[in-house]
Amino acid sequence: MTDPIRHLAEASRLDRFYVDGAWREGAGAERVAVVSPASETVIAEIALGTEADVAHAVAAARRAFPAWSRTAPAERAALLDRVHGLVIARLEAFAQTLSAEMGAPITYAREAQVPLAAAHIRVARDLMATFPFLSRRGTTAVAREAIGVCGLITPWNWPLYQITAKVAPALAAGCTVVLKPSELSPLSALLFAEVMDEAGCPAGVFNLVNGTGPVVGEGLSTHPEVDMISITGSTRAGVLVAQAAAPTVKRVAQELGGKSPNVVLPDADLARCIPLGIAAAMRNLGQSCSAPTRMLVPRARLAEVEALARTTVAGFVVGDPRREATTHGAIANRAQYDRIQRMIAIGIEEGAKLVAGGTGRPDGLTTGLYARPTVFSEVRRDMAIAQEEIFGPVLAILPYDGVEEAVEIANDTIYGLGAHVQGTDMAQVRAVAGRIRAGQVHLNAPAWDPEAPFGGYKRSGNGREYGREGLEEYLETKAILGYYD
């Protein structure tokens, strides 16, 4: 597959949805352009689903649920194993598509976006060998059963990664699904639907309907035959989905926004942790809900931190995501690019100290949605750039005068998705981590763990993804009393 987007067009995937085991034309005629953020040109047009398309997909998933939910875990594991193998085999096609549709550097797409997505499939597959779907407590049995038909709503910033983080555990649990990917980066989802078909997924177990949130997203949220909604997106979108789902008392799992702190303790090795912290904040151009975009540092060491920040950002290569040397590509869409520019301007107006970057494109780039990696220092906790999720390559450095104040600043947010703590004294590092109100805390920049549960406190959502806890979100608990041998 030399040109995956051309392949999708020639195979008539762009104007169809994958429903009940086949590629089918939708009920409506509306289309939307998919725009390359690197060139700001249209690279494809996809069909947008209607309420009727949602109804057809949900009906297919409902028909498939009784048989699929009764399959043995080993059978579900076998399907996931085939899916995993096909994703790995098509790594380059997925990477090229992700780079084109959302501006990820091709190296980052190959080394992170696709392999990490595959890891979610592998973890769900492996859990089938050990997960206790039935356990005993004396003469009571506790059964964990598939919740039913699940509507999965995924975002534009990690398109394939978030699809596999939902689809894999849902299918492993015995659920059937209807996927609504973001209409801003939908092409990798169409390739994934091809993988599901080639892997031999039974008809109706996996369905895909492209479309907008107000139509397809709301259609899934309100549909009485959908038992659960899992959404990754903005807090605003999560609230709307929860409100729409409330009348039918669905389970709603939400992985939403964040403004994650990175607490640099007084004894931290700045030469190591500052570059790592900046890289983490600006990975995927800061378009990650858990990006540690608030760096809390001892006031006495602020000048050292600023110098390291300037040097680190100067080493970034912003530009054409197709080039191997590019470290940071284009912002994924125009609306997000405009928001980032607006927030950088607000930071300057608020009086924060501009250490690196600023508004506009980097020098030498005249077209494309390219933003300058930006670092502000001397940021106060009440500033907009310290409180609002920017979702771009913008880091706010906030000085503190003591560890107690650092913990207070870290928790001074409506969000609670992720956090980082850096220091040499591990007892203190662990103690501080224990006081931060967030769903996942990283100590001294550890390796990513696909089995570590991920989710938020406060307005960052509810429920967990990844690993065993991610699987459990898709299960109901049934107690069976008098379960004698």
Cα–Cα distance list, 274 to 41, 265, 310 (Å):
37, 11, 11
Residue 75 annotated in active site: no
d(CA 26, CA 210): 10
Cα–Cα distance list, 431 to 236, 291, 300, 456 (Å):
33, 22, 22, 20
Residue 150 annotated in active site: no
Q: Of 275, 254, 255, 250, whose CA–CA distance to 264 is shortest? A: 275
Greatest CA span in the chain, whole angstroms? 75
Q: How large is the C-alpha radius of gyration of the chain? A: 23
CB 425 within 8 A of CB 267: yes
Determine which one of 255, 306, 389, 473 is catalytic. Answer: 255
Q: DSSP string covering 432-452, please?
A: HHHHS--SEEEESSPPP-TTS
Please say whether the dihedral angle defined by the alpha carbons of residues 134, 137, 141 and 146, taken in this order, is positive or negative. negative
Determine which one of 150, 175, 273, 289 is catalytic. Answer: 289
Length in residues, the chain: 485
Residues 6+ apart with CB under 8 A from 469: 453, 455
d(CA 471, CA 474): 6
d(CA 471, CA 137): 22
Residues 6+ apart with CB under 8 A from 437: 411, 416, 457, 458
d(CA 216, CA 153): 9
d(CA 455, CA 256): 8
Q: Which residues are catalytic?
A: 255, 289
